[in-house]
Copies of this chain bind each other. A is one copy, B any other.
Amino acid sequence: MNSLKPFTFSKRFPNMPIIGSSFAGSLDHVIPLSYGFPAPESFPLETMVAATELAMKNQGFGAMSYSGGTGPSNIVKWIQKRSQLRGVHADDNQIIVTAGSMQAIDLVARTLTDPGDEIWIEAPCFFGAIRTFNLAQVNLRSFPIDENGIIVEHVEKALIEATLQQKPIPKILYIMPNYHNPGGVNLSVDRRKKLAELAYAYNFFILEDDAYVELSFEGTYLPSIHSFAPERVIYLSTFSKVIAPGIRLGWAIGLSDIINKIRILKTDGLTSVYVQEVVYNVLEQLDIEEHIRYLSNTYKSRKEAMVEAITEHFGDEVSFVSPEGGFFLWLTFPPGVNTSAFVEAAMTAGVSYLDGQHFFLDDEGFNTMRLCFTYCSEEKIKEAIKRLADTYVQYIRTLPMEEAN
């Protein structure tokens, strides 16, 4: 048809930069520190086969059907029990299994907000959440983090001002309390308590994204924000970090009223019951404590290798908080450095990273960078940091003198 008329699509699509070449890094010669991936050699491939065999034998027809009502109960009970260890106490009917915690972020956002409502976030903030909130057509406002997580005083001040000026209170405050992506920091217990108080006082929900909680290098765990405000926190986590991301299995925990609304909004049906039953069997067969210990030890060593290499090659040129768990190390360069400016050069030199600006709402964070220490071996990490330092030195030489200091 030559006469095809233009069609007016939904207005909900934001004009956001796609995270492009810096994220891909899939060329053979590139060591990808940009990926936010677990160590691929940690995936329990053989256990997946055994677990599938068991699922087909034990849950058989059930695992392949739509299943009834709210889905398989085994994995929900596992999540329920595990969450108690993290200070999240909930009934079965307060838990919904989702396609990764990413789907939960979307469903919670659209359950609690209408277009034009406010969601407040951290700066920096996981770019996937920013993108999802933009597609929900809400207004976003961000608050800086320091080495103890979001600076709660800024949030409280903004809430007071909004109240005085009769401006909108947020419906959601999105927080990643443990091993922040990308900041690598933990939210202090005092701030958790204070946020919980604010949520009750100002009547908003905290969306507590606890994707990395299990990956504690020292086996220590801070109380969840949920434990201080169970009626005003929706708690998210995922199997992506402790089993594998490709299975796409996460969950949300909250008041049953809210979880029921989320079930209605989740029009794709139950999350693959097949995957739920297989993963439940994996959890039964794997000795998950041992597996998590192995992951944490591996990641701790890799982080240490990265920190050592950064100290060796960058010296005082960068600052960072050494993370106590999780996936990410967040570098801050001197003001005037623009990490977006040498993404391509780094790729050519054989290393990829994520330039910091993707984690901010506005034109901010140009002198920051996210490095992932979990995907590559220690050897590769050391080589990658060396390449990154070489690239950086080349870049610095191109800067006017006053900006480079």
- Chain A residues packing against B (C-beta within 8 Å): 1, 3-5, 7, 9-13, 24, 26, 37, 40-41, 43, 45-46, 48-49, 52-53, 56-57, 60-69, 98-100, 102-103, 105-106, 110-115, 128, 131-132, 135, 200, 203, 205, 231, 244-248, 258, 261, 264-265, 267-275, 278
Q: CB within 8 A of A246: which of B37, B64, B115?
A: B64
What's the Cα separation between A40 and B59 when bound, in Å?
12
B48 adjacent to A102 (CB under 8 Å): no
Minimum Cβ distance to chain B for residue A134 (Å) = 10
B110 adjacent to A12 (CB under 8 Å): yes
Minimum Cβ distance to chain B for residue A228 (Å) = 11
A264 adjacent to B65 (CB under 8 Å): no
The interface residues of chain B lying within 8 Å CB-to-CB of A113 are 10
A247 adjacent to B274 (CB under 8 Å): yes
What are 27 A-B interface contacts by the 8 Å CB criterion? A1-B200, A3-B200, A9-B111, A12-B114, A24-B68, A37-B66, A40-B61, A43-B64, A45-B64, A48-B274, A49-B53, A64-B246, A65-B244, A66-B246, A67-B246, A99-B99, A99-B268, A99-B271, A100-B269, A103-B267, A106-B267, A128-B267, A131-B264, A135-B265, A246-B274, A248-B268, A248-B270
A261 adjacent to B106 (CB under 8 Å): no
B49 adjacent to A65 (CB under 8 Å): no
B56 adjacent to A268 (CB under 8 Å): no
B203 adjacent to A7 (CB under 8 Å): yes
The interface residues of chain B lying within 8 Å CB-to-CB of A67 are 246
Q: CB within 8 A of A245: which of B43, B53, B65, B99?
A: B65
Q: CB within 8 A of A56: which of B49, B62, B100, B131?
A: B49
